[in-house]
Amino acid sequence: MLTGVEPRSSAGVLAEPATAPLDGVGIKRKDAGVAREGPDRRTRCTQTMKTYNVLGFSALALQVLISAMLAPPWLGPWWGIVVGFGFLLLSWFLGGLYLSDVIHLGIAHRALDYKVWFIKVVTVVNNSVGVYVDPVSWVNRHRLHHVFADHPGDPNKLGADGFWKTMYLCIFPYPCTANLATDPILRTRTFRVVSHPLFAVISPLLSGGLLWLIVPDWKFVVGVWLGVRLFALWVNMVQNYWTHDRRFGTRRYEDAGDNAMNIGDWLPVMATFSACWQNNHHHYQHLLRTSHDAAEFDFGYSTVRVMGALGLVSPSKTGTNRPDDLALAEVAL
């Protein structure tokens, strides 16, 4: 059931469910209609030590160390770093393009209209040689996340869930209470094949096999492959934990219904393709960009503009629907 969520106190915040208008994909926003501060005022966190940056750079440094130490003698540590870190960069870029730009803004929120063939190519390539993410289940979880953000029914995280519980949920999320992933494209053969459990089993062999073709040393391959997954887990934690804990980041909009925060540091913005502007995004889910001010660094939006210039994507009817209180003068590609 998608309405009638009981008010719940989480992280010191009392949620006030309300009958809300629909966003661009027909999902009721729990926080719509809740009084908020204007965009010129920010609520800053009291947490000064940016743990997420320390852990993110540590994950990158570990990838460099693994690549150097496990490199076979004939390759050497320096070329090992080139290959190992290069594989991480390839996986990161494919994952960001696939999940943040295409699946997230293109399908889950219908803010962007991509060429169908391009969506399918990106989906197959990423889930073959990059980090596997089931597109159908992800769209469903993400839409439920927006309906029940930080409350029972949110598959990603409840307001009271801590660091380790959220990390566990990144791998084993709460059960979904409804199926909101019924889009025609998700029922096409391509998406049915990629979302099949067998494909999830084959995917690690394909991505590891690609790395083995470059460096035929299984110790090196397994180490680098695991290092990439560790960095991907950190990216997931940025989006599910740090940007949903009011001790971190800032809030442009004082929506009482969730704990979504904005994190604008360089590494999280780059790593998540700007998905860490969560407070902005939760407030106006229909927009084709997650930054709401020209001063906010938005790497994801830059990649979408490049794809727009190439004719691969165009704004949807809702993607450029600019709210009156938005600091941006216009929303376009």
Q: What is the average per-residue pLDDT within 226-231?
A: 98
- Helices 116-129, 77-95: inter-axial angle, 10-degree rounding: 140
What pLDDT does 224 receive?
98
Check: CB of residue 27 under 8 Å from CB of residue 286: no
Identity of the residue numbered 318: T
- Kindly tell me if the per-residue pLDDT of 277 is higher than 50: yes
pLDDT bucket at 306, cuts 50 / 70 / 90: very high
Render pLDDT for 149-177 as a digit per residue (tens, 0 to 9). Answer: 999 999 999 999 999 999 999 999 999 99
What pLDDT does 95 receive?
97
pLDDT bucket at 40, cuts 50 / 70 / 90: very low
Cα 271 to Cα 238: distance, rounded to the nearest angstrom: 9
Render pLDDT for 69-127 as a digit per residue (tens, 0 to 9). Answer: 999 999 999 999 999 999 999 999 999 999 999 999 999 999 999 999 999 999 999 99
The candidate with the shortest Cα–Cα distance to 144, out of 278, 15, 233, 30, is 30
Cα 235 to Cα 238: distance, rounded to the nearest angstrom: 5
- Helices 116-129, 197-214: inter-axial angle, 10-degree rounding: 70
- Kindly tell me if the per-residue pLDDT of 5 is higher than 70: no
Beta-bridged to residue 13, according to DSSP, are 10
The candidate with the shortest Cα–Cα distance to 227, out of 60, 17, 12, is 60
Please, what is the Cα angle at 276 between 271 and 279, to 5 degrees? Answer: 175
What pLDDT does 333 receive?
82
Task: Provide the H-helix boundaries in the chain.
Answer: 51-69, 77-95, 116-129, 135-147, 163-171, 189-194, 197-214, 218-240, 266-272, 278-283, 299-309
What pLDDT does 27 receive?
52
pLDDT bucket at 281, cuts 50 / 70 / 90: very high
